[in-house]
A and B are shown apart, each in its own frame.
Chain A
Amino acid sequence: MRALTDHAVTVLAILATLIVVTPLLVIFGYLVYKGASSLNVAFFTQTPKPVGETSGGMANAILGSALVLALASFIGVPIGIGGGVYLAEFGRGTKLANAVRFTADVLNGVPSIVMGLAAYSLVVIPQHHFSAFAGGVALGIMMIPTVCRTTEEMLLMVPHAVREAALGLGVPNWRSVLSISVKTASPGIITGCMLAFARVAGETAPLLFTALGNQFWSMNLNEPIAALPLQIYVYALSPYDDWHRLAWGGALVLIILIVLAVSLVRWVTSRGVLKGAS
C-alpha cells in the first residue's frame, strides 16, 4: 500500500510537470510559427497602413518603445542601482535596509495598472495631455525595485576580501564602492538591468493611459507615442487578419528580447560574477 502511494505520487508529480510544460511549449511553438511568418523588412521599416491595405509594419511602435524604454531606464537604473548599493554596502543588517528590501519586494508585486494610474495622476493630469514622458515615468518607477534587488544580490557575491584589499590601500569608501565593488559586480548588475528592461518592455497596462499609443511617427516626448505592446493589444482585439498578423510579429520580437535577457542573466550568474576570484 505504501509503495503504491509512493508510485502514485511520483506519477502525479510527473503528470503535473507535463501538464505545465506542454502548454508552455505550445505557446512558444505557436508564437514562433505565427510570428516568424509575419516578420519581414516592412515590419521593421513601415508604419501601420489603414485597414484594407496590406503590408505595413510596426516601425513607429518599435521606435516609440525604444524612446519610452530609454526614458524609463534613465529614471529606473540609477535610482535602482543606488538603492542596491545602499542595501549591500552601507545598510547591511540594519533595520532601514530590511525595511527597504521588504518594501521593494512588495512594490514589485503591485499591479502594473496601478503604476499607470499613479503616473497618470502625477504627469498626465497636471500636463493635461497624454505623453511619452508619462509612459517613461510609469515604466521607470516599475524598474526601480527589480534593479535595486538584483544589484544588491550581485554586490553580495563580491567577496569581502576584495573590499578589504581596497580599504587596506587607503582608498576612500565611495571610490572603493564604485571602482571595486560595483565594477567587479558590473556584469551581473548590467544583466540585471537588462532583465528589468525586458520585463517592462512587455508592459502594456501602464502605457494605456500614459503613452496612449499613436498610429504615426513621433519622436516627441511630450506627445502620445506608439509602443510595441500597446500596438499588439490594439491589433489583437481588432477584427482584421492583417492586424492580427502584425500583432503576432510584435509578440515574437518582444519574446526574442526577453529570451535573450533571461538567458544572459542565467549565463552570467551560473558562471559567477567573478571568474577565478578568491
Chain B
Amino acid sequence: MGVGIAVLNLNAWYGANHTLQDINLNIPANHVTALIGPSGCGKSTFVRCLNRMHETNPIARVTGTVRIGDLDIYRDCKPVQIRRRVGMVFQRPNPFPTMSIYDNVCAGLKLNGYTNRRALDEIVERSLKASALWDEVKDDLKKKSGASLSGGQQQRLCIARALAVDPEVLLMDEPASALDPVSTAKIEDLIFELKSQYTIVIVTHNMQQAARVAEKTGFFLNGRMVEFDSTHKIFTNPSDKRTEDYITGRFG
C-alpha cells in the first residue's frame, strides 16, 4: 500500500551548484506523479533526494525535510532503511550482470539477509507477474543472466526487482528514455496498473508520457518547482507563463 510524500523547504547542492532551491510539495499516495522540465532542471536530483540516493555522491548535500508516510527520512532513519521502503528504477536498465533473472529479482531481499526459499519463489513470481515479464522469462528464470534480456525486458526486470522488496513508493527516473516505442508503451501500461498499490513518482522529459500516465504533474525549471497541479490543469491551462512556454514548446 502506498503512502504520501511531503517535501518541505528542500534544498540540494552538487558541489557549488545549488541544484534544488526551496522545493515544497505534496505527493499523494497511490497516484502517479510526473515531474517534467528541461534537462538539468533538477527533477532527477529531486527524486534522488526522496530515497537519499543524492547523498551517495561525496560532493552532494541536502537540507530540508522529506516525510514519507510518517517517517522523516533525513532524521528518523539511515539511508539504507529508507531505500528499502522506496523502490527506484533508473534511467538505463541496470540488472546485475552476473546474476540470473531469478537472483536479480530477489537481490534486494537476499542481499538484505532474507533467506526463506519458498517465500522467495513466490515473491519472484509475483514481482515478475506484476512487471508483466513473467510469461516471457518463466522458463529460464535461473538459466539466463539478467543481462541477456532485451533492453525493454531488462527495464521490466529492474521494476520487478524494485517491487520484490514490497516498497511503499516507487521512484522512476526517466525509465523509458533508453527504450524503443513498443517497450515504452509496455512500461507505461505497467505504471498505470501499479498505481493502485504504490505511490509512483516518475521523472520524464517526454511531455506526452506525463500526460498519458500521471494524475499530477510538477514542472521544474532551473532548480525550482514552478508549478504543481493536476496533469490536466498543467497541460491545458497552466497558471505560470513559464510552464505554458515549456508545454507549448517555446523552449527546452
Contacts and interface: CB of A to CB of B under 8 A. Distances in A.
A touching B, CB within 8 angstroms: yes
B107 A161 contact: no
Contacts of B97: 162, 184, 274-277
Interface string A166-207: 111111110110011001101000000000000000000000
A178 to B, nearest CB: 9
Question: What's the interface size class on A, roughly?
Answer: 20 to 34
B84 to A, nearest CB: 3
Contact of A164 (B53, B98, B108): B53
Interface stretch (B6-14, B75-83, B124-132, B217-225): B75-83
Interface residues of B, number: 31
Contacts of B165: 169-170
B88 interface: yes
A169 B98 contact: no
B96 interface: yes
A29 interface: no
Contacts of A234: none
A256 interface: no
Nearest to A158: B97
B53 A179 contact: no
Contact of B147 (A170, A171, A183, A274): A274
A164 B147 contact: no
A173 B112 CA distance: 11
A162 B80 contact: no
Interface in A103-126: none
A165 interface: yes
Contacts of A169: 83-84, 87, 107-108, 111-112, 161-162, 165
Going nearest first, the 10 A-B pairs with the smallest beta carbon separation are A170-B84, A170-B83, A169-B108, A277-B97, A161-B94, A276-B147, A168-B88, A171-B111, A165-B94, A274-B97
Interface of B: 51, 53, 56, 58, 79-85, 87-88, 90, 92, 94-98, 107-108, 111-112, 145, 147-148, 158, 161-162, 165
